[in-house]
Chains A and B, each alone.
Chain A
Amino acid sequence: MCRWTRRTWFAGVLLFAGACSGPRKSRQLEIAFVIKALDSEFWLRVKNGAEAAARTAPEVKLTVLAPEREINIDQQVTILEDQIVKRVAALAVAPAGVWEVIPVLDKAKAAGIPVLIADTDVPWASKRGFIGIDNRLGGKLAGAYVVNAIAGHGKVAVIGGIPGVATHEARIAGFLEEIGKVPGIECVAVQPANSERATGMAVMENVLTLHRDLRAVFATNDQMALGALEAIAAKRRTGQIVLVGFDAGRETLRAVQSGALSAVIAQHPERIGWETVRAAIQAAKRNPVAAWVDTGTAVVTRDNVARFLQ
Chain B
Amino acid sequence: MKAAAQTVPFPQVPRLTGAAVLRRFGPLLGLVVLCGVFGGLSEPFRTGENAVNVLRQSAVNALLALGQMVVILTAGIDVSVGSILGLCCVLAALLLKAGVPAVLSILAALAAGAALGAVNGVLLTKLRLPHPFIPTLGMMNVARGLALVMAGGLPISDLPVRFRVWGAGTVAGLPVPVIVVGLCYVLGHVFLTRTTPGRDLYAIGGNARAALLCGVPVDSRLILAYGFSGLTAGIAAVVLAGRMNSGFPLAGSGAELDSIAAVILGGGSFFGGVGTAAGTLAGALIMAVLRNGLNLLNVSAYWQTVMIGVAIVVTVWIDMLRQKAANR
**Residue ranges of A at the interface with B (Cβ–Cβ < 8 Å):** 1-3, 5-6, 9-10, 12-14, 16-18, 20-21, 24, 38, 63, 65-69, 71-75, 77-79, 81-83, 85-87, 97-100, 102-103, 162-164, 192
Pick the contact of B302: A3, A12, A38, A74 (CB < 8 A). A38
B244–A74 touching, CB < 8 Å: yes
A164–B296 touching, CB < 8 Å: no
Least Cβ–Cβ distance between A12 and chain B, in angstroms: 8
Tell me whether A82 and B153 are in contact in the complex, defined as CB-CB below 8 angstroms, given that A17-B38, A73-B248, A99-B158 are known contacts: no
The listed residue with most A CB atoms (<10 A of its CB), out of B155, B294, B296, B299, is B155
The residues of A that contact B140 with a CB separation of less than 8 Å are none
Give CA–CA (A24, B157) in the complex, Å.
39
B150 within 8 A of A: no
B314–A82 touching, CB < 8 Å: no
The residues of A that contact B325 with a CB separation of less than 8 Å are 1-2
Which residues of chain B from 31 to 60 have a CB within 8 Å of any chain A CB?
33-34, 37-38, 41-42, 44, 47, 49-50, 53, 56-57, 60
A21–B41 touching, CB < 8 Å: yes
The residues of B that contact A164 with a CB separation of less than 8 Å are 153-155, 248
A82–B295 touching, CB < 8 Å: yes
Minimum CB distance partner of B167 in chain A: A103
B322 within 8 A of A: yes
Q: Assuming A9-B318, A73-B248, A82-B296, what are 5 further A-B pairs, CB within 8 angstroms? A: A20-B303, A73-B244, A99-B155, A99-B244, A103-B244
Interface string of B139-180 (1 = CB under 8 A from A): 000000000000011110110000000001000000000000
Give CA–CA (A2, B38) in the complex, Å.
24
Minimum CB distance partner of A160 in chain B: B153
The residues of A that contact B153 with a CB separation of less than 8 Å are 163-164, 192
Which residues of chain B from 278 to 322 have a CB within 8 Å of any chain A CB?
291-303, 305, 307, 310-311, 314, 317-318, 321-322
Give CA–CA (A192, B57) in the complex, Å.
30
A6–B57 touching, CB < 8 Å: no
Give CA–CA (A136, B246) in the complex, Å.
25
The residues of B that contact A73 with a CB separation of less than 8 Å are 244, 248, 251
The residues of A that contact B298 with a CB separation of less than 8 Å are 20, 24, 63, 65
B250 within 8 A of A: yes
Pick the contact of B299: A20, A38, A69, A98 (CB < 8 A). A20
A13–B154 touching, CB < 8 Å: no
Least Cβ–Cβ distance between A229 and chain B, in angstroms: 24
B53–A100 touching, CB < 8 Å: no
A85–B244 touching, CB < 8 Å: no
Minimum CB distance partner of B326 in chain A: A2
Least Cβ–Cβ distance between A269 and chain B, in angstroms: 18
The residues of A that contact B138 with a CB separation of less than 8 Å are none
Interface string of B199-243 (1 = CB under 8 A from A): 000000000000000000000000000000000000000001001
The residues of A that contact B14 with a CB separation of less than 8 Å are none
Pick the contact of A163: B154, B296, B314 (CB < 8 A). B154
The residues of B that contact A5 with a CB separation of less than 8 Å are 314, 317-318, 321
The residues of A that contact B57 with a CB separation of less than 8 Å are 78, 81
Interface string of B247-261 (1 = CB under 8 A from A): 010110110000000
Give CA–CA (A72, B41) in the complex, Å.
27
Closest 3 pairs between A and B when the two form their complex, measured CB to CB? A99-B157, A163-B153, A82-B295
Minimum CB distance partner of A79 in chain B: B295
Pick the contact of B300: A12, A14, A17, A65 (CB < 8 A). A65
Least Cβ–Cβ distance between B163 and chain A, in angstroms: 13
Give CA–CA (A90, B4) in the complex, Å.
63
A/B interface sample: 17 pairs, CB < 8 A: A2-B318, A5-B314, A6-B318, A17-B41, A17-B293, A38-B301, A63-B298, A73-B251, A74-B60, A74-B240, A74-B244, A77-B243, A81-B53, A82-B50, A85-B53, A100-B244, A163-B154
Give CA–CA (A162, B53) in the complex, Å.
28
B125 within 8 A of A: no
Least Cβ–Cβ distance between B312 and chain A, in angstroms: 12
Interface string of B92-116 (1 = CB under 8 A from A): 0000000000000000000000000
Give CA–CA (A86, B57) in the complex, Å.
16
B80 within 8 A of A: no
A20–B295 touching, CB < 8 Å: no
Least Cβ–Cβ distance between B14 and chain A, in angstroms: 15
Least Cβ–Cβ distance between B287 and chain A, in angstroms: 11
Tell me whether A85 and B297 are in contact in the complex, defined as CB-CB below 8 angstroms, given that A2-B22, A9-B318, A21-B41 are known contacts: no
Give CA–CA (A222, B255) in the complex, Å.
28
Give CA–CA (A134, B34) in the complex, Å.
45
